[in-house]
Amino acid sequence: MLLLMSLLIVVFILFMFYFARNITEQVQNDNKQSLAVLKEDVVRLAQEKEKISEEKKFAEQEASDIFTLYDITKEISKKSYEQEAFEVFRATLKEKVSFEDCRLIHAEGDRRKKIPDSKDYFIFPLQGRKRILGNIIIKGLREQDKDKFIILAQQFGLALRRIILYQEIEQAAITDSLTGIHTRRYLLERFEEELQRATIKKIPLSFLMIDVDRFKSFNDNYGHLVGDKILKAVSFLIQENVREIDYAGRYGGEEFSVVLPDTDNEGGFFVAERIRQAIEEAVIEAYDTTAKVTVSLGISCFPADGKSSMELIDKADWALYRSKKRGRNCVTAFGVYKSK
């Protein structure tokens, strides 16, 4: 009986040991599975965190790019000249990408500069509505920065189109539509400015009045189209024979005026005679007509002949009238009788 009891106790202990081991193994397996799930959750959360971080960085970069575009647009919009606008673009670009050299190359006519023949340069054409406005050339641009550069360059191209349009509108407002020379209003505005400068600095200034001789007869004999061609040719010759600092404009009809800053009476007479001679020697082709014309000129000078623009205009006009009376095709300075 005692032996049986001992045997039963041993069996019970073995059973309990087996049962406990199974339970322990089950718990361990459950813990392993829970730990595996927890690890997967941790990995997933880490991946999601990394993804969110990347999305945040991307969003911040997008916001930065948008603000950059806004800032560059705002700053460029303040500029009225393309080179000033380009300097803003280049400074902004320098903050965003690395490069060695960046230049704006014009596309039109004699202003075109040669584009460097080098593979090191990346060339970005600035496209207008109907033509290429120019090119931005950049050296040392990294491949990873190319997209960013293109976005900024496109923004500059849009701003450049606005600047060019503004300049064209401004030029149209100050340019006589027929002759291509300055309008009377613009000429008189510049005249007042130069007169103020001459007064402050105590320097001379000359004013020319120019009239095409017997212009009415050209209109009557050949028609207004030929007359228009003559006015265009005369305005061109006037501009060809004055300095860049001088202002030439159409005063009205067949009359032209020139403001000569820092020029005394002798200098004014010299310029007037040069204009007269150039026009006298020119052969003007007007459709199927060949014309030769002459002009009469009058000169007034600040401060000797007057201190206001109206005085100087009146006295130059009087001198022009004297040139007409003297037989035309000559130059007369107010108060000084001079012949060609």
Cβ atoms 238, 209 nearer than 8 A: no
Measured on CA atoms in the order 49, 51, 57, 63, is the torsion positive or negative?
negative
Q: Which of the residues 254, 255, 266, 280 is marked catalytic? A: 254
3-state secondary structure of 129: coil
Residue 71 DSSP label: H
Q: Which two tokens stand for residue 10?
A: 């041993």
Peptide bond into 204 cis (omega under 30): no
With a CB cutoff of 8 Å and minimum separation 6, the contacts of 333 are 265, 268, 269, 298, 299, 300, 301, 319
3-state secondary structure of 243: coil
Question: Does the active-site annotation cover 311?
Answer: no
Closest-CA residue to 149 (of 121, 112, 119, 111): 121
Output the DSSP codes for 16-66: HHHHHHHHHHHHHHHHHHHHHHHHHHHHHHHHHHHHHHHHHHHHHHHHHHH
Which residues are marked as active site?
254
